[in-house]
Amino acid sequence: MRVTERPRHVPVLLDRILELFAPALTDRDAVLVDATLGLGGHADALLSAHPRLTLVGLDRDPHALALSAERLARHGDRVHLVHTVYDGLPEALSGLGLSRVEGVLFDLGVSSMQLDVPERGFAYARDAPLDMRMDPTTGPTAADVLNTYSHGDLARVLRDYGEERFAGKIAKAVLVERDRAPFTTSARLVELLYSVLPAPSLRTGGHPAKRTFQALRIEVNAELDVLRRAIPAALTALAVGGRIVVESYQSLEDRIVKRAITALAHSTAPPDLPVELPEHAPQLRLITRGAEMADERETEHNSRAQSVRLRAAERIREAP
């Protein structure tokens, strides 16, 4: 794909995200980190809505950064793009001479661009190389995982990251098949899943490859490990009055986000302490009640919004 080619991209819950960030960004000099820049749809809208905003955009995908640089060029020196995984947020800010920001946005999971480019191997609906790396310049591919992992390790990945009930059965079939020939493309894996999974499971729960492809993608990109480091780092970087907004697309991501945010939204004072000391007071105020979902109008307009879970919080006390 050439840099000038732009896949179709509709930012998820854009209006809601603009609404959530407005109190922290309106009529002031502010810095926001888009930790998962992608094609820059959210970033472009935020920069347009807030003329005094400086945006730091992070992405591990160099092609996404090139496309976003083109899209955001009209905002000039208010945009700083950094090629890094989102747990590299502290180093990215330090490199720009920043320590505190007024906003952090995470739009997790695979991007529209990565799904729409067949050779990236993220989509099970089309035959493509089993790659799935968000940064295609480094690291093992999904094919490497399938062709080298032991039965136990592969079953663990499918069970823990894909919540696949038949993880052991699939792993056993993969080992048998790879002895005949290594896995290289998605169509062969999808065919194996159709042959291995019980008939009743094929009739419910969506495409039979969905869970396996999700698990492989998470493993290849170490997504959950990165997220466990990135959310606390982002919360630490928030200035008082700053806001964090996170869009997750599956329960494993959302669980990590929920735990990190809610842990700082409650007092840490011992139950028998008569007076709450300042150091025990909550650091965050939850803005959303639980995880917000997209409404019917949003999902009709943007199919990617069907599984979104949005959480937001505001820093109310300086981080220790």
| Model pLDDT for residues 272-281, shown as the tens digit of each residue | 776 667 777 8
DSSP 184-211: -BHHHHHHHHHHHS-HHHHTSSS-TTHH
Percent of the chain with pLDDT over 90: 76
Is 107 annotated to bind ligand? yes
Is 41 annotated to bind ligand? yes
Is 40 annotated to bind ligand? yes
Who has greater pLDDT, 122 or 13?
Answer: 13
Domains and CATH numbers, the chain: 14-113+223-315 (3.40.50.150), 124-221 (1.10.150.170)
What CA–CA distance (Å, rounded) separates 88 from 229? Answer: 9
pLDDT band per the 50, 70, 90 thresholds, residue 8: low
| pTM confidence score | 0.89
pLDDT of residue 208: 83
Answer yes or no: is pLDDT of 301 > 60.
Answer: yes
Burial class (CB in 10 A: 0-12, 13-18, 19+), 272: exposed
What CA–CA distance (Å, rounded) separates 46 from 234? Answer: 18
Is 241 annotated to bind ligand? no
Under DSSP, the state recorded for 292 is B
189-217 burial by CB neighbour count: b if 16+ within 10 A, else e? Answer: bbebbeebbeeeeeeeeeebbebbbbbbb
Look at 71-85, 114-128, 173-187, 212-226 and tell me which has the smallest mean pLDDT: 114-128
Burial class (CB in 10 A: 0-12, 13-18, 19+), 12: buried
pLDDT of residue 6: 46
pLDDT one-digit tens code per residue, 128-147? 899 999 998 889 999 999 99
What CA–CA distance (Å, rounded) separates 242 from 280? Answer: 20
Is 50 annotated to bind ligand? no
Residue 289 CB coordination number (10 Å): 7
